[in-house]
Amino acid sequence: MIQNTRASLPSPQPFNTPTRSSAPTPLPFQLLPTSKSFPTIKQQCSISRRDLAIYGNSCLLLLLGSQGVEVSKARAEEEVAVTTNTSNIDQQEENNVNATTPNCTERKPTKQVFLDVSIDGEPVGRITIGLYGDDVPIGVNRFSKIVSGAAGISYRRKEFVKIMPNYVQHGGLRSYGVDAEIAKGTGSDLAADTLVGEWERQYETCSGAKNVAGSVGIVVRDPSKPPPKLKLVARKGKLEIDQEEVGADPNGTEFVIATKDSPELDSSTLVIGRVVEGMEVVKRISQVKTVQENTSSPYFRVAKLIGDKRAVVAERGFNRPYSKIIITNCGVLA
């Protein structure tokens, strides 16, 4: 008997859907891909020895540089502190020196003298000078004796020989001829040796500029004088080395009157006083035309280099006034 296949099949269940079994949860290590294209940890951390050495040296340099900057900052702070302390000490020492060192521009005159001046025979006025008898007694004594005529010689009929931008200079008395003979007859000494010692003491004790505007000083030395020349001299059949003086030293009678501050005179003049009245007369003298300097001429330079006496004579004529400026009368005021 043939069975009906349709009847033998199981009846469908429309209301009960077939259940699917859930897939098992993969383990963590199973999530890592196994493909060869994914970079491994070894590939990500691979650094060559060269790069490692460069990076290491760079880090070392940075470390050393930071330490060097810190050390330099510390040293700079120490230097600033030391400099500040040193400057404070120097300032204190300078204040102490200024407190103990006398100022030569604030001295008081003890006596007064006068000089009557004329230019080309025309009287231009009187110059009154106050002398520092307590501070420079040797220089004041010599100057006042010459002015008053007590030394047998005087500045009368003597002229100003040089006019510079900052001062005017009087020629003083000559160390030879009538002036020298009269000075010897009265026992007066025209040498400036005694004045040099007083100038040295003043130069050491006084602070700042000595030759300020209106100051009067005696020329005691010539800073431009060249050193003695060495020469061979035959004596008793033998050659000996001898020194020859070039030029003459001042005789202590030349004097200068500063029209402006003249620090260049501090090394050659002994300040003995200052102009009390008649500064306008001094300015009138400074306005007189003079012989212009020609020291820049190549001919003059060569002549002076080889020792030509004509160059020496010409140099003495520089800055000399064309007009004749004379002291017509002089003396001590009571």
- Say yes or no to pLDDT of 27 above 90: no
Residue 147 pLDDT level (bands cut at 50, 70, 90): very high
Residue 316's alpha-carbon distances to 74, 192, 202, 297, in angstroms, are 62, 21, 29, 16
Lookup: tokens for 219 = 């020329």
Residue 80 pLDDT level (bands cut at 50, 70, 90): low
Largest interatomic CA distance in the chain: 194
The string of pLDDT tens digits covering residues 5-16 is 444 444 444 444
d(CA 286, CA 308): 31
- Which residues have a Cβ under 8 Å from the Cβ of 131 and sit 6 or more positions away? 109, 110, 111, 112, 113, 140, 143, 144, 272, 273
Average pLDDT over residues 49-74: 62
d(CA 221, CA 219): 6
Question: What letter represents residue 206's amino acid?
Answer: C
Residue 86 pLDDT level (bands cut at 50, 70, 90): low
Average pLDDT over residues 13-25: 50
Residue 317 pLDDT level (bands cut at 50, 70, 90): confident
pLDDT at residue 123 in the model: 94
Closest by CA to 113, choosing from 153, 152, 141, 138, is 141
Lookup: tokens for 317 = 């004529």
Average pLDDT over residues 53-69: 62
Average pLDDT over residues 122-138: 92
Average pLDDT over residues 241-261: 80
d(CA 104, CA 107): 6
Structural contact between residues 179 and 251, judged by C-beta atoms closer than 8 angstroms: no
Structural contact between residues 239 and 130, judged by C-beta atoms closer than 8 angstroms: no
Minimum mean pLDDT among 130-144, 240-254, 258-272, 308-322: which range?
A: 240-254
Residue 86's alpha-carbon distances to 91, 204, 225, 260, 294, in angstroms, are 8, 25, 40, 36, 48
d(CA 225, CA 256): 18
Lookup: tokens for 195 = 């004045």
Structural contact between residues 321 and 289, judged by C-beta atoms closer than 8 angstroms: yes
Q: Which CATH class is domain 106-287+322-333?
A: mainly beta
The string of pLDDT tens digits covering residues 256-288 is 999 998 888 888 889 999 999 999 999 999 999
d(CA 164, CA 160): 11
Helices 309-317 and 298-305 cross at an angle (nearest 10°) of 130
Of 80 and 106, the structure prediction assigns the larger pLDDT to 106
Half-sphere exposure of 183 (CA within 13 A, CB side): 21
152: left (phi over 0), alpha (psi -120 to 50) or beta: left
Classify 231 as helix, strand or coil. Answer: strand
pLDDT at residue 29 in the model: 45
pLDDT at residue 3 in the model: 47
- Which residues have a Cβ under 8 Å from the Cβ of 102 and sit 6 or more positions away? 205, 206, 207
Ranges assigned E (strand) in 91-134: 111-119, 122-131
| DSSP sequence for 81-97 | HHHHHHHHHHHHHHHHH
Residue 107 pLDDT level (bands cut at 50, 70, 90): confident
Residue 246 pLDDT level (bands cut at 50, 70, 90): low
Query: CA quadruple 115, 120, 123, 124: dihedral positive or negative?
Result: negative
